[in-house]
Structure 1
Amino acid sequence: MEPTQPPQQPPSPHGAPQQQGWPAPGPYTSPGGPYAAGPYGPPGAPGAPAIGPYGQPKRSTNGFAVASLVSGIVCCLPPLGLILGLIALPQIKKKDQAGKGLAIAGVILSVVSSLLLTIGLVTGGIGSAIDGFKEGVDEASRTKSPFALRIGQCFGDDGKLEEYAEDIEVIDCAKPHDGEVSGSFKLTGYDKWPGRSEIETVGEKRCEAINSTYALDTWAVPVNVWVYYYMPSRESWRLGDRTVICAFASEEGRFTGSVRSDASTLTADQEYFLKAVNPIETVGLREPEDDPDEDFEANKAWSGEMLKAVETARLDLAKHYWPGASTAPVAALGKELDAAAREWRKLAVAADADAYWEAYETAWDTLPEDLGAKARTGLGLTDTPPVQEGPSRTA
């Protein structure tokens, strides 16, 4: 159906009168459908210009101008932002594009950032900032829970090895540290929280065994360093924590160097020697506190264990081939252990406390006090026992 009269002419957006007929395409003028058709088809069709307010083609924004602004904002790309801005300005003028303000802002920001970067490099400020950042990242990576520690790691405990520890700093073993992790184990066989005392009993026994395997060369362990462990608390137990972390640690000041001496650090001959003679030292430290007059049976049982340790060491040393500089001193140690075994046998079969005391001093005197220092020298092991510094362990 045709209109009975021409449509009213809308006012020009610029105040000038338009020609009679259909109005210019605009957002509100669509006599035949949703789009005001033109020579290119509807907006968005191939070849059609973008339609802006009042039907004027929309100016495109120069891509280099946008990139210049972004590069100027990003502190590490100021030279790139300057270059892109200088490329964008003549293009914008030539192609009648938008983005001149973006390009100018990108150039200004890039110039300022470049100046700041230059000053930082000259004065060393940038290097200090980078070093500070790296130091912060490094410190964060080294700070962790005790239960995140792994075997062989040395650590510092700002809590001074107190009951509860939350933040442990991993430290190079060559630097002073509070402790060194020797291993870990899981608590099993408990349906509920077993109590602190029970865990301490299990932890001490298991960690002693783990530590003795981790540090076979006991003479290389400082005298003020002993068995230590981190155990679950009642609260962490509820969350499923069952791990006990074993370590060597000192509460009397930090120590330097790793105490690790196991199959990963020792030669086969060194490892064999230490496994043969270490039980003598281990059993010797377990001598009963009560003397034979107070607990004869306990002392007699202990002397039997010492006899077994001495005889086993003698036999093990005799059946192994000892190379080079270790041959003669190991053979000499074997003879000393043979003589000591005869005296310890007398002690182990003592009929009463008086007979025990009669054989006691001789048994200790015949046992090599250094347990083969010359043999250790020949094998390249620590040949000097650790010297007590400061208060003793039992003080």
Structure 2
Amino acid sequence: MATPPPLGPQPPHGGGSFASPGQSQAGGGQPYPYQAAAQPWGQAWGRAYPAPPQPPPVNGPAIAALVLGVLCFLPGVGLLLGIVALVQIRKKGERGKGMAVAGIVLSTIGALLMTLAFTTGGARDAWDGFRDAASSAGGTFSVEKGECFDSPSGSLEEYAYDVDIVPCDGEHDAEVFAGFSMPDGGYPGDDAVTDVADDRCYARSEEYAMDAWALPVDVDIYYFTPTRQSWRYGDREITCMFGNVDAEGSLTGSLRRDATTLDDDQLAFLEADAILNDAFDQVPDTEYVEDDLSGHKVWASQVVRALEQQTSALRAHDWESSAEQAVTDYVEALDEAREEWEAASEASDAEDFTEHWDKAYRLTGGPKAVTAREALGLATESPTYDDEDAGGGGGEDGSGAEV
């Protein structure tokens, strides 16, 4: 259930510094760095993942063979390196067999194309077709929405040549919740790419994990982004994922709470909840209410309108009999909260505003919210903040609850 943010300013959702350069599944066999988003829920972005026992290293000649094969550069050398890599991998137990095989295949194609260039006037058409196919193929690995994976290095802050897809039911390093493509054109620069990733991944996370109360406190956002090098080969993909902020932690179980996992009542409840969440997101970014009393009063009016829409949506839904009374009681609590926000929007001073804010805060996420959620089979533990100074349970605004 939605609860208003705790008293005082909350961290912005987007922007900020990044812990490491970002990278998505890159074309051209480029190594992929992971990127931590700029704002966690109550934690600092970009902290490392737990390091499992050191995996076998990736064979160097296999990497070189893949790069030369994708670039169609020195295909003879790429073919030779691929063969050498397979021999070394077999003897040393290293990783990279797939890259070696891909390098051999691509180098063979490149050699054939070069031969064709000397024997026929159709070489350029063949070459263009090959380059287009290579670009459209994307990177050496891909992960889809709803999939979970482990990083071979055990970290989401290092370059990766591949990932290991694993079931989401068990422990895993990350869970992919969205993906989208950047527009074509020249490479916009590292900062522009990470800004887009941060803004859009944050917004898309709320579509995938609709129940903020169900999110563990140790969840963070990471993403793959294109590099300048991979951009040259058609890579435009940004992949958004949930990870763990704890260097010694991991994720267990899927965080997905959307139309694919929720029943009709749960979905209706959380969709109405999102209306209020959006209003809470607009809280003025000041340290104290008195720093911008007029801005806070305008914001309170926005919350009033959101509560009107939320309660209207909740009343319009046909609830199962087992949950109907609990939801009805909760809607009545929201009506009381709306009255407090209306009073806050007309407050004469900061102290008056804060008093009404605190009362509304306790109503929105109080016992009736918990009872309604329990009846619907949703999470019943309200999110909390380290710096929370208001009573009655956590809030939906700020870095601690909203994803």
Q: State whether TM-score is above 0.5.
A: yes
- Equivalent residues in 2 for 1:206-285 (5 A)? 206-252=200-246, 253-284=249-280
1:318 paired to 2:312: no
Aligned to 1:45: none
Distance 1:227 1:297 in 2: 34
Aligned to 2:80: none
1:169 paired to 2:164: yes
Deviation at 1:355, TM superposition (A): 4.7
- Equivalent residues in 2 for 1:374-385 (5 A)? 374-385=371-382
Aligned to 1:170, what secondary structure does the other structure show?
A: strand
Deviation at 1:161, TM superposition (A): 1.4
Name which one, 1 or 2, has greater alpha-carbon Rg: 1
Letter in 2 for 1:263: A
Query: 1:97-151, CA deviations, whole angstroms, 9 ceiling, x for partnerless residues?
Result: xxxxxxxxxxxxxxxxxxxxxxxxxxxxxxxxxxx9xxx99xx9xxx96961001
Aligned to 2:336: 339
Question: How many residue pairs get matched?
Answer: 252
Aligned to 2:323, what secondary structure does the other structure show?
A: helix
Deviation at 1:388, TM superposition (A): 8.3
Change (3 A) 1:274 1:356: same
Distance 2:179 2:327 in 1: 34
Query: 1:149-204, CA deviations, whole angstroms, 9 ceiling, x for partnerless residues?
Result: 0011001122511164332221111111121111111122x632222222222222
TM-score with structure 2 setting the length: 0.56
Measured on the aligned residues, the alpha-carbon RMSD in Å equals 3.2
Change (3 A) 1:279 1:165: farther
Distance 1:299 1:146 in 2: 50
Structure 1 stretch 194-203 or stretch 344-353: which is displaced more?
Answer: 344-353
Q: RCO higher in 1 or 2 (8 Å CA, sep ≥ 6)?
A: 2
- Equivalent residues in 2 for 1:46-65 (5 A)? none
Deviation at 1:236, TM superposition (A): 1.5
Unaligned runs of 5+ residues in structure 2 are: 1-92, 102-137, 387-398
Letter in 1 for 2:377: G
Aligned to 1:287, what secondary structure does the other structure show?
A: coil
Match of 1:156 among 150, 153, 159: 150
Deviation at 1:302, TM superposition (A): 3.1
Change (3 A) 1:370 1:217: farther
Match of 1:197 among 191, 198, 213: 191
Aligned to 2:213, what secondary structure does the other structure show?
A: helix
Change (3 A) 1:292 1:387: closer
- Equivalent residues in 2 for 1:80-95 (5 A)? none
Deviation at 1:310, TM superposition (A): 1.9
TM-score with structure 1 setting the length: 0.57
Deviation at 1:311, TM superposition (A): 1.9
Change (3 A) 1:287 1:369: farther
Change (3 A) 1:298 1:224: farther
Distance 1:309 1:149 in 2: 36
Would the aligned equivalents of 1:159 and 1:165 in 2 still touch at CA under 8 Å? no
Aligned to 1:273, what secondary structure does the other structure show?
A: helix
Deviation at 1:234, TM superposition (A): 1.7
